[in-house]
């Protein structure tokens, strides 16, 4: 409970005495008022219960009414307090009371007297040489020869000598004066605070206020620092995004140049085939001159030279075709005319060309555009549709039956959309920064729930065997949501990983596999509060993807550029480490015949065959940035999503060498 404050000492008190001027004073400060009004009290010769008017110390105009007996008890408290000390020292400062105040008739130690004079109302008080004494007039009867008080009348609130007792009302309640005095003295002692002590407490409160002010200032400074850090991080992220965009543009420029190189080489090879026929006299010195001009083997082609060289070779083929009816040349000419220049979907990089001489290479047949930022995730929906999640805060729906036309765009997320999952009942869940949104596919994908709880991005989803949904986040937790109870969060799995949880997968026996940036994979048991059954250690960098293969084994991709295979029948022992990618492995998906595909930061997709010692039997090239997600929509068709803002459709039956 909060009490009102005394206007003099500014202390809260449960009992305040009102002064006529409007000020309030506590019992402790009545002592100061008594000292200030000491001289005016001498006009009364006899202790009485009559209320006296004492002036207010603050304004000197108001008055407070108090009986002289109470005043006497309060005025003597200081002297009696010091008389009780065994050594005769100041009970507060442990010093000898050497200074006597003539005005207050109280003896004080030097420290107390300095504090006493520090108050404005006592500033004029001067020290004297009188011995410490207490006026006896307030303890004796002024009507009967200064007889000492022997009794105290509680009804009249006054002291009585032996003579007064005999003349007093017999029905009044009388007590021994000594007992009443001692009791009153104890009460005042428990409440009495010297000015010096009050000043110390006020100073302490001021210090406390300073500390509180400092804390508030520090909190405000920290808040401003957080805002500045947020702005700096935002600017840095924007700068990184611009750098990524610049990199994509540069890659496209280099890739277009590479296309020209490939086309030029193919034209040269075609002319070599033509030269085997005796019907033509091809000037190969001229061709050699063109080749040297472009430095085919030793250095990069110059963009401004390639188109000219290609046109020269084309003109040569044209001249040859006019002079002959050679079927080989005619077929070459027809092929060249039909595909004057390769489309962007045939984009190749130099590293891809180097690999192509050793491995089968496949280019995509269709490129889907529409997103304005990184495409993080793709999943296959019901009714032949595909959903894609992007860094442009949107989700797009594509109709496979209508040539992958973009039929709908879902908006609502504030921040990058990282992950998607379609539940068994058809509802779609999407994970963004801190929030999960649930979309109803029966109502044109209307957002019906917004789930809060995670404190970082939601990177992966998984539907458990009992129908509940699990979400993995950068806040190092996995949350379990109940779709049958308005997606209420049933539990939060903590303390399993020490860094962001990036991927989830369901094992063959219904357990949950979780991959983390702490370089580990853990097998969690849903039937035992998701406690870890196995900890898979082997990767030397962040684990970024998980996949359960058709034979039940678990595959994991990592930033260490490897894929590890774990045997589910032998306590998830690592039985193979697959290499081939030159950047982190971000995504994995299954293919028929127990094959699987992997997407990487090296811009390629690789097809692996575990039956052939995990041999890579196909490389898919075309993306010009990180491949973040891949899915298998048909036995021989893949869809991939990339940081180059596109999705590509791959027909695995069109393998070329």
How far is 595 from 340, CA to CA, in rounded Å? 36
pLDDT at 249: 79
Q: What whole-number distance in Å separates Cα of residue 242 and Cα of residue 249?
A: 11
Evaluate if residue 647 carries a pLDDT over 90: yes
DSSP H helical ranges for 343-421: 350-356
Residue-number span of the structural domain to which 240 is assigned: 206-342
- Give the Cα separation of 501 and 497 in Å (integer): 7
How far is it, in rounded angstroms, from Cα 378 to Cα 642?
10
If pLDDT is split at 50, 70 and 90, which confidence band does 456 have? very high
* Banded pLDDT at 42 (limits 50, 70, 90): very low
Angle at 156 between CA 153 and CA 160, to 5 degrees: 45
Residues in the chain: 657
Averaged pLDDT, 317-326: 48
Q: Give me 116's structure tokens.
A: 């006493």
| Assigned domain for 536 exists | no
Q: Is 53 among the domain residues?
A: no
pLDDT of 87 reads: 52
Say what the pLDDT of residue 6 is: 78
326 and 220 inside one domain = yes
611 and 640 belong to one structural domain? yes
Report the sign of the C-alpha dihedral through residues 73, 79, 85, 91, in that order: positive
For 29-103, list the strands marked E by DSSP: 51-55, 63-67, 99-101
Average pLDDT for 614-632:
89
Give the DSSP H or E segment for 227. helix 195-275
Examine the pLDDT at 291 and tell me if it is beyond 70: no
Lowest mean pLDDT among 281-295, 469-483, 512-526, 540-554: 281-295
pLDDT at 269: 63
Instruction: For residue range 53-70, list pLDDT tens digits in order.
Output: 777 777 777 787 777 666
Residue 357 lies in a domain: yes
Residue 460's pLDDT is 95
* Alpha-carbon span 561 to 277, nearest angstrom: 49
Buried residues in 503-536 as b, exposed as e (16+ CB within 10 A): bbbbbeeebbbbbbbbbbbbbbebeeebebebeb
DSSP string for 251-277: HHHHHHHHHHHHHHHHHHHHHHHHHTS
The answer on 307 and 248 residing in a single domain is yes
Query: Is 337 in the same domain as 253?
Result: yes
Residue 431: inside a domain, yes or no? yes
70 lies in some domain: no
Final residue in a domain of this structure, among 494, 524, 547: 494
Residues 110 and 112: their CA atoms lie apart, in Å, by 6
What pLDDT sits at residue 306? 47
Q: E strands within 206-313? A: none
pLDDT at position 36 is: 63
Half-sphere exposure of 123 (CA within 13 A, CB side): 5
Closest C-alpha to 348, from 623, 639, 654, 648: 623
Q: How does residue 458 score in pLDDT terms, banded at 50, 70 and 90?
A: very high
Instruction: With CA atoms as reference, report the closest residue to 619 among 591, 655, 569, 586.
Output: 655
CATH number of the structural domain spanning residue 364: 2.130.10.10
In the predicted model, is pLDDT for residue 347 greater than 80? no
CA dihedral 44, 49, 52, 54 (to 10 degrees): 110
- Note whether 219 and 336 are same-domain residues: yes
Other CB atoms closer than 10 Å to residue 83's CB: what's the count?
Answer: 13
Which pair of tokens denotes residue 35?
């000292």
240 shares a domain with 358: no
378 and 393, same domain (yes or no): yes
- Domain end, chosen from 477, 494, 511, is at 494
Q: Are residues 326 and 387 in the same domain?
A: no
Asked whether the predicted pLDDT for residue 295 surpasses 50, the reply is no
Tens digits of residue pLDDT in 411-432: 999 989 999 999 999 999 999 9
Q: In whole angstroms, what is the distance from residue 578 CA to residue 610 CA?
A: 10
Instruction: Clarify whether residues 218 and 316 are in a common domain.
Output: yes
Last residue within a domain, chosen from 478, 494, 510: 494
Q: Whole-number mean pLDDT of the chain?
A: 76
Measure the CA–CA gap between 458 and 118, rounded to whole angstroms.
67
pLDDT given for residue 525 in this prediction: 93
Asked, for residue 5, whether it belongs to a domain, the answer is no
- CA 6 from chain center: how many Å? 46
Q: Distance between CA 613 and CA 457 in Å, rounded?
A: 37
Residue 160 located in a structural domain? no
Tally of domains in the chain: 3
Q: How far apart are the C-alpha atoms of 99 and 213, rounded to whole Å?
A: 40
Which of the given ranges, 24-28, 155-159, 466-470, has the highest pLDDT on average?
466-470
Q: Is the pLDDT of residue 45 over 50?
A: no
Same domain for 336 and 218: yes
With respect to residue 168, please indicate whether it lies within any of the assigned structural domains: no
Residue with token string 């406690």: 531
Q: Say whether pLDDT at 447 is over 50.
A: yes
Higher-confidence residue of 467 and 25: namely: 467
Query: Is the pLDDT confidence value at 568 over 60?
Result: yes
Whether 360 and 387 map to the same domain: the answer is no
Give the residue with greater pLDDT, 489 vs 241.
Answer: 489
pTM for this prediction: 0.50
> What is the CA 377 to chain-centroid distance, rounded?
24
Q: Residue 337: pLDDT above 60?
A: no
Taking residues 607-630, what's their average pLDDT?
88
The pLDDT-based confidence of 328 (bands split at 50, 70, 90) is very low
The strand order across the sheet containing 375-381 reads: 375-381, 385-390, 395-399, 405-410
Q: Does residue 250 carry a pLDDT above 80?
A: no
Distance of alpha carbon 229 from alpha carbon 221, whole angstroms: 12
What letter would DSSP give residue 92?
T
Q: Is 596 exposed, middle or buried (0-12, 13-18, 19+ CB in 10 A)?
A: buried
Q: What does 590-646 look like in DSSP terms, one character per residue?
A: E-GGG-EEEEETTS-EEEEEGGGTSEEEEEEE--SS-EEEEEEEETTEEEEEETTS-
Same domain, 349 and 238: no
* Band of pLDDT at residue 616, cut at 50, 70 and 90: confident
Higher-pLDDT residue of 499 and 164 is 499
């Amino acid at each position: 409970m909060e009490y009102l404050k005394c206007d003099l000492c500014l202390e809260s008190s449960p009992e305040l005495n009102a002064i006529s001027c409007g000020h309030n004073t506590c019992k402790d400060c009545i002592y100061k008022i008594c000292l200030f009004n000491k001289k005016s009290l001498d006009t009364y010769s006899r202790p009485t219960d009559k209320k006296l008017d004492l002036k207010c110390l603050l304004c000197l105009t108001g008055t407070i009414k108090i009986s002289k007996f109470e005043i006497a008890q309060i005025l003597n408290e200081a002297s009696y307090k010091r008389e009780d000390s065994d050594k005769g020292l100041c009970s507060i400062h442990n010093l000898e009371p050497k200074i006597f105040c003539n005005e207050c008739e109280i003896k004080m130690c030097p420290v107390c007297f300095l504090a006493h004079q520090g108050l404005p109302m006592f500033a004029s008080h001067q020290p004297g040489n009188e011995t410490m004494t207490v006026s006896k007039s307030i303890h004796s009867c002024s009507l009967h020869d200064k007889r000492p008080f022997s009794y105290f009348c509680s009804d009249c609130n006054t002291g009585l000598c032996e003579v007064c007792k005999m003349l007093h009302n017999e029905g009044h309640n009388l007590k021994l004066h000594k007992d009443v005095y001692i009791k009153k003295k104890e009460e005042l002692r428990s409440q009495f605070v010297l000015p010096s002590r009050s000043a110390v407490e006020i100073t302490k409160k001021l210090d406390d206020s300073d500390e509180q002010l400092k804390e508030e200032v520090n909190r405000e400074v920290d808040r401003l620092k957080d805002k500045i850090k947020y702005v700096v991080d935002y600017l840095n992220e924007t700068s990184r995004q611009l750098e990524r965009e610049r990199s994509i543009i540069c890659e496209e420029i280099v890739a277009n140049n590479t296309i020209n190189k490939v086309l030029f080489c193919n034209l040269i090879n075609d002319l070599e085939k033509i030269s085997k026929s005796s019907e033509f006299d091809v000037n190969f010195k001229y061709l050699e001159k063109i080749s040297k001009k472009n430095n085919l083997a030793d250095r990069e082609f110059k963009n401004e030279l390639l188109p000219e060289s290609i046109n020269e070779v084309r003109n040569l083929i044209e001249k040859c075709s006019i002079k002959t009816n050679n079927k080989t040349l005619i077929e070459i000419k027809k092929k060249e005319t039909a595909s004057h220049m390769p489309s962007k979907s045939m984009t190749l990089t130099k590293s891809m060309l180097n690999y192509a001489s050793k491995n089968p290479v496949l280019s995509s047949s269709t490129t889907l555009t529409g997103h304005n930022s990184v495409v993080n995730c793709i999943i296959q929906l019901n009714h032949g549709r595909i959903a894609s999640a992007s860094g442009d805060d949107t989700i797009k729906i594509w109709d496979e039956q209508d040539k992958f036309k973009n039929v709908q765009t879902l908006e609502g997320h504030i921040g990058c959309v990282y992950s998607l999952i379609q539940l068994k009942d058809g509802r779609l869940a999407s994970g963004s920064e801190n929030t999960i949104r649930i979309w109803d596919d029966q109502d044109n994908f209307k957002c019906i729930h917004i789930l809060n709880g995670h404190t970082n991005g939601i990177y992966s989803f998984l539907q458990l065997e009992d129908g509940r949904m699990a979400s993995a986040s950068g806040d190092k937790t996995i949350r379990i949501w109940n779709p049958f109870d308005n997606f209420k969060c049933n539990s939060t799995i903590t303390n399993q990983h020490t860094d962001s949880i990036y991927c989830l997968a369901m094992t063959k026996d219904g357990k949950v596999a979780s991959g983390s940036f702490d370089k580990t994979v853990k097998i969690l048991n849903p039937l035992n509060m998701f406690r870890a059954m196995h900890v898979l250690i082997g990767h030397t960098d962040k684990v970024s993807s998980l996949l359960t293969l058709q034979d039940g084994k678990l595959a994991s991709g990592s930033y260490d550029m490897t894929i590890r295979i774990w045997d589910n029948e032998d306590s998830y022992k690592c039985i193979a480490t697959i290499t081939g990618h030159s950047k982190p492995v971000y995504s994995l998906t299954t293919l028929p015949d127990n094959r699987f595909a992997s997407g990487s930061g090296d811009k390629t997709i690789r097809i692996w065959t575990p039956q052939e010692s995990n041999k890579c039997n196909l490389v898919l090239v075309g993306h010009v940035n990180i491949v973040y997600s891949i899915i298998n929509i048909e036995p021989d068709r893949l869809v991939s999503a990339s940081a180059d803002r596109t999705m590509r459709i791959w027909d695995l039956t069109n393998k070329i060498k």
